[in-house]
Copies of this chain bind each other. A is one copy, B any other.
């Protein structure tokens, strides 16, 4: 318990009220976006044997919530949706048709230090294409992002690069071991936060040579049009096989995206993108939240071809991205893209007492039949206090139907924002309200 005697654990969110209403709408819009691109829903367990979570994840034991269950099995809570996907695909390989295009929306847990915008339990929305190593899968997993974000009114830039290009850079600089290569990538990954000089200091700290620093600086300075970036990358890393392949593939990706009808500023080929995780093997993707680019990537991922075992031929290729809903929400909140008071409810009936309740119930159900969210004030409070509740709850319309109105077979509809009142025939109420809402 904390100092107030509370039982709440830090790093865990309580979501409710207007913020939760908007969170739910945003998540639903994104899920509709997943459907539009033919991704199929999936839900996988939250609990796994700890050993299968840890295997090849690069996630330290300290970051995983793990424990022994009543059968003394060593269990862990999932910390992402990718490890469970690997587990699922490996066991169901023969039941799936490939490419397997799925999305998963759900909570993950990290026994992390909580902080501003960092939670121990948070929702992730993952999209993956498994069993397809084509350039087309790379393009699809990147090109759906701006459309989905547009649906929720968020302006983004999708930034693309390739781990193969980074490998090419490492090979050109003769960085030999995989561990040193990953250290180099992780240093470059900090570019957004620390700039070129910060990356170079980081590399120096890890003992990289002056030559590598010079090469990295040149690399990070590459910018301009696709053609320009591609030709400079070709010059810099093209002598390595991996670098050459990476540049060639990104050339194809950018060409198709440019010809698909997107706006130029929705995508950029950006050599400074590196991603922290070790398992990426091809395209890597980050998404800049344009209203405030300091917010870090709100949708990230890439190709991970050497991660999911294929029982017959080595590995199943895969590419995917993950949307961090709660970070996205925090970013939208801080840039005033969330509203302060939003409710789903459109209409509330003032309650004149239990005798009238069957009438309210009938009328409310007729509105609900048209898809209009309607509630009936619940208390025996004074009429004035009921209006106060409706006002505080931001419900746009209040309906008064008391003995006086019943005698005249009308209801009074009050528009709460304008404080104007109209008398409507009972039988006309559903159509009247529907028209008002659509105004």
In angstroms, Cα B134 to Cα A286, docked, is: 53
Given A46-B107, A91-B6, A351-B136, verify A16-B41 contact (CB < 8 Å): yes
What chain B residues lie within 8 Å of A91 (beta carbons)? 6-8
Measured CB to CB, the closest approach of chain B to A119, in angstroms, equals 9
Q: Which positions 111-130 of chain A face chain B at CB distance < 8 Å?
A: 111, 120-121, 129
Number of interface residues of A (CB under 8 A): 96
Given A8-B87, A67-B67, A378-B132, verify A361-B41 contact (CB < 8 Å): no
Q: Please tell me how many copies of the chain the complex holds.
A: 2
Whether A348 sits at the interface, judged by CB under 8 Å, is yes
Q: Which of B97, B129, B393 makes the CB contact (< 8 A) with A389?
A: B97
What chain B residues lie within 8 Å of A9 (beta carbons)? 45, 47-49, 73, 75
Measured CB to CB, the closest approach of chain B to A259, in angstroms, equals 3
Given A36-B371, A358-B260, verify A47-B121 contact (CB < 8 Å): yes
Q: Which residue of B lies closest to A380 (CB)?
A: B134
Q: Which positions 69-119 of chain A face chain B at CB distance < 8 Å?
A: 69-70, 73, 75, 87-88, 91-92, 97, 99, 101-102, 106-107, 109, 111
Q: Are A38 and B374 in contact (CB under 8 A)?
A: yes
Whether A408 sits at the interface, judged by CB under 8 Å, is no
Q: Which positions 352-406 of chain A face chain B at CB distance < 8 Å?
A: 354, 357-358, 361-362, 365, 368, 371-376, 378-380, 389, 392-393, 395
What chain B residues lie within 8 Å of A374 (beta carbons)? 36-38
Whether A187 sits at the interface, judged by CB under 8 Å, is no
Q: Are B373 and A36 in contact (CB under 8 A)?
A: yes
Whether A228 sits at the interface, judged by CB under 8 Å, is no
Q: Chain B CB within 10 Å — which of A28, A88, A129, A358 has the most?
A: A358
Q: Are A378 and B99 in contact (CB under 8 A)?
A: yes
Q: Which residue of B lies closest to A9 (CB)?
A: B47
Q: Are B344 and A35 in contact (CB under 8 A)?
A: yes
Measured CB to CB, the closest approach of chain B to A262, in angstroms, equals 9
Q: Which residue of B lies closest to A100 (CB)?
A: B16
Whether A59 sits at the interface, judged by CB under 8 Å, is no
Q: Which positions 34-58 of chain A face chain B at CB distance < 8 Å?
A: 35-38, 40-49, 51-52
**Stretch in contact with the other chain, from A17-25, A189-197, A201-209, A429-437:** A17-25
Measured CB to CB, the closest approach of chain B to A385, in angstroms, equals 11
Q: Are B1 and A20 in contact (CB under 8 A)?
A: no
Q: List 25 A-B contacts (CB under 8 A).
A: A1-B49, A13-B43, A14-B44, A14-B45, A15-B41, A17-B40, A20-B40, A20-B41, A35-B345, A36-B373, A45-B121, A47-B65, A47-B121, A67-B68, A69-B111, A101-B378, A136-B351, A136-B357, A136-B376, A143-B361, A252-B354, A256-B361, A260-B362, A260-B365, A261-B362
CB-CB nearest 10 A-B residue pairs: A38-B375, A67-B67, A259-B358, A12-B45, A260-B361, A7-B52, A15-B43, A36-B368, A16-B42, A35-B344
